[in-house]
Chain A
């Protein structure tokens, strides 16, 4: 592994992104009533600038950072997975329950003691729910699957 591979890869990625981003501007549906500059010019300018700058990055890269080992990546993957599951669970099972699960899961990933994690997670979720939903009047999901139970 060369010491500056990371920046080169990043540069190539950004270059491709800039090309794609610039190309997208041609797909905008602009009516003939638009302003003199129009919605295309600004993004197109950004794409060109980014293209040039990313070339520079490819030519003059910095030394690569120290990337973490596979253990960390597995952890990061797990954490991300809990986020995704959470996003889909939140509305059906409600904020308190889903957040309790989420915090417990993360606490376990971070090597917390299981029992304490669960209790802490539940108390925090309930506290957050009361704080936001009741006091600040921001509606958090109560859980649509339970609607029949006490409706």
Chain B
């Protein structure tokens, strides 16, 4: 009797959730299956994928994706999560993947938990993509993933990028990068840098790269880490921090309102849009660049067929208008480096990071 009642309640609850989930769509969200069952699953008839799906040519080359999973090595809401969700969505929108791409959030150790999981548990999974960025390569360079190295996985490609910017509050005494560097050269400890990552993390590295380019000893800089770029920027608006070395996507809102100004972009070429007219650090005589690529690696044991399929698929996807739209929504630029181009890019970057971290005494 009692059990029945409880089960009844459970069923009621289930129906409740179902009804709620259906209400906005008049159609339930496409069910996603676990890896094992997905193979036999018919392509999900979700709202946007089916119509324009053109079967990918590469499918003939010996690999057909099925039950594709994308691991975002962080909680929902961050860059890695965005990478997985937007790429997953676009891949299925343009028909390069049948059905949906399942996104798994596997937070921990700054991506280390996901890295270890892929290497030790899913090394032969051909249908697995893992979101990566310089946060991944920097930690690999600094040996923060334990015994694992960049050679344990296959680097598939980058499909977009965010860019580093040096920002100050609107009422800051520094109006150009020159002003800031001049002060730093005289008394490096007098400027408070505040960023969203730990000491030795991305935001810190950005300013150290810049300092190095300006001939200032990076170790003399004063850097305070906050919990994420947003908090660092708030601290700058409150006057607790002088300079916030953030990413473009983090500062757009405040930039639009004129609360902050961008002294320089750490890019190869000047940027458009709201950053029109902002010079690059390079143009101002400091050869510092920092590109926050958004890309993927796959398991080390991924077959060549699958690897080639994903390299091609990402390439095709990156050229689609759907991807342009995703990039625009995410405030990113299109930077595509794939397969044979991406692997040397990653290994050069890691070598550079390793050298830099060694120079800075962060690693031995």
Contact = CB atoms under 8 A, between A and B. Distances in A.
Contacts of B37: 142, 150
A151 B36 contact: yes
A59 interface: no
Interface in B210-268: 219, 224-225
A131 to B, nearest CB: 6
B14 A150 contact: no
Interface of B: 3, 6-7, 10-11, 14, 17-18, 21, 29, 31-32, 34-37, 39-40, 69, 102-104, 199-200, 219, 224-225, 360-362
A134 interface: yes
A130 B224 CA distance: 45
Given A33-B362, A151-B36, A116 B3 contact: yes
A146 interface: yes
Given A133-B32, A133-B34, A134-B31, 10 more contacts: A33-B361, A33-B362, A35-B225, A130-B14, A131-B14, A137-B32, A139-B104, A142-B34, A144-B36, A151-B39
A123 interface: yes
Interface of B is mostly: mixed
A127 interface: yes
A124 interface: yes
A90 interface: no
Given A131-B14, A139-B34, A120 B7 contact: yes
Contacts of B34: 133, 139-142
A142 B35 contact: yes
Contacts of A2: none
A136 to B, nearest CB: 8
Interface residues of A, number: 26
Interface in A56-111: none
B40 to A, nearest CB: 6
Contacts of B102: 137, 139
Contacts of A1: none
B10 A124 contact: yes
A116 B346 CA distance: 57
27 contacts: A31-B199, A31-B361, A32-B219, A33-B361, A35-B199, A35-B225, A120-B3, A120-B6, A123-B7, A124-B10, A127-B10, A127-B11, A130-B14, A131-B14, A131-B17, A133-B32, A135-B18, A135-B21, A135-B29, A139-B69, A141-B34, A142-B35, A142-B37, A143-B36, A146-B36, A147-B36, A150-B39
A33 B7 contact: no
A142 B200 CA distance: 39
Contacts of B219: 32-33
A151 to B, nearest CB: 5
Question: Which of A35, A140, A143: most chain B CB closer than 10 A?
Answer: A35
B361 A147 contact: no
Question: Which of A34, A116, A151: most chain B CB closer than 10 A?
Answer: A151
A124 B6 CA distance: 10
Contacts of B36: 142-144, 146-147, 150-151
A150 B361 contact: no
Contact of B40 (A33, A133, A150): A150
A35 B361 contact: no
